[in-house]
Amino acid sequence: MFTDAIRALILGIVEGVTEFLPVSSTGHLLLVQHIFGLDESGFWKTFAVLIQLGAILAILLIYFQRLWRIALGMFSDPDARRFVIGVLVAFFPAALIGGLANSYIKLWLFNPWVVCFSLIVGGAVLLWVDQLDLKPTYHDATTFSLPMYLGIGIAQCAAMIPGTSRSGASIVAAMLFGADKRSAAEFSFFLAIPTMVGAFAYDFYKNRADMSTDHLTIIAIGFVVSFITAIIVVRTFLDFVTRHGFAFFAWWRVTVGTLGLIALALGK
């Protein structure tokens, strides 16, 4: 139990640090689980999904006033209503594909080789987009066009491949569609709310019969740690990317992916 608690603590930190960075939280969690020898454990695969809700609650806390105003104005303010519809439109493709292909994805794609290759390819794409001379036309994540919301949602589906990064895919798509770096990152936060809540509800319901008291305690540790860590990361991430862009995170992905491939090739 003590060893599992330490693992949950470490995995919670990894989740909180990486969930909203364009580096793939799922990919990093899978690599750490591989290091811990947890690759074949069905519980730890579910654990990686369930603790993401802790990071999502961090977003709800940080943006509570803004989200509350949108919720209150949903029936009286056309702009608020349009944004809510936009988030749902962006969420729909991932919900559809995730519901249909979840078992296949977990069976065939959740392995460290896929993660490492995806980290490297995604890092190269992120570096390319970051260096483009883009002329942003959107500076507020709540004012994107509906076709743009749909395009971002379709792009997010690429993150079904572990190591791709949900936030990375949505940020890249938003920037290519005309968003500046800050609003692209912020919309990835907002889109994470229904996406991750849906994934949490689906996995928890599907595996509820296998959850023991010890399992719930381990999940609670990872949940709380990811919540606290995510608050710290999100508060600094937006200012960082506004000033410095995404090159640091692109090279982070390439470095981790390359080191991972070397370790796998050596049989570590």
Look at 36-40, 89-93, 153-157, 263-267 and tell me which has the smallest mean pLDDT: 36-40
Residue 210 predicted with pLDDT over 70: no
Query: What is the pLDDT, as a whole number, of residue 203?
Result: 75
Look at 109-118, 200-209, 219-228 and tell me which has the smallest mean pLDDT: 200-209
Residue 209 predicted with pLDDT over 60: yes
Distance (Å, whole) CA 164 – CA 141: 22
Cβ-based neighbour number of residue 223 at 10 Å: 24
Query: What is the pLDDT, as a whole number, of residue 105?
Result: 80
Query: What is the pLDDT, as a whole number, of residue 90?
Result: 95
